[in-house]
């Protein structure tokens, strides 16, 4: 699904970037330019960041 229409960025690209270590909104803006034009995608991008962080924490707790 396209998340950032301005820069043709899909949710899978964002998820991949997060999995590869890109951190937070600023990191995604630097890596993929999401949220740097009209800003309409920012809430969706933040939801994807929050989802990634929640999954990371859950895995860390289970491993700990």
Predicted pLDDT of residue 56: 75
DSSP E strand boundaries for 1-64: 2-4, 9-10
Digit-coded pLDDT (tens) for 18-39: 999 999 999 999 999 999 999 9
Q: Which residue has the higher pLDDT, 57 or 9?
A: 9
Percent of the chain exceeding pLDDT 70 equals: 91
Distances (CA, A) of 34 to 25, 49, 51: 8, 12, 17
Number of structural domains found in the chain: 1
CATH number of the domain at 54, please. Answer: 1.10.10.1100
Range(s) of the domain holding residue 29: 2-63
11: confidence class by pLDDT, cuts 50, 70, 90: very high
pTM of the complete model: 0.89
């Amino acid at each position: 699904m396209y998340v950032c229409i301005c820069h043709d960025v899909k949710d899978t690209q964002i998820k991949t970037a997060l999995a590869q270590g890109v951190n937070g909104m600023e990191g995604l803006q630097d890596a993929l330019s999401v949220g740097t034009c009209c800003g309409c995608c920012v809430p969706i991008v933040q939801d994807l960041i929050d989802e990634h962080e929640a999954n990371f924490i859950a895995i860390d707790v289970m491993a700990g």
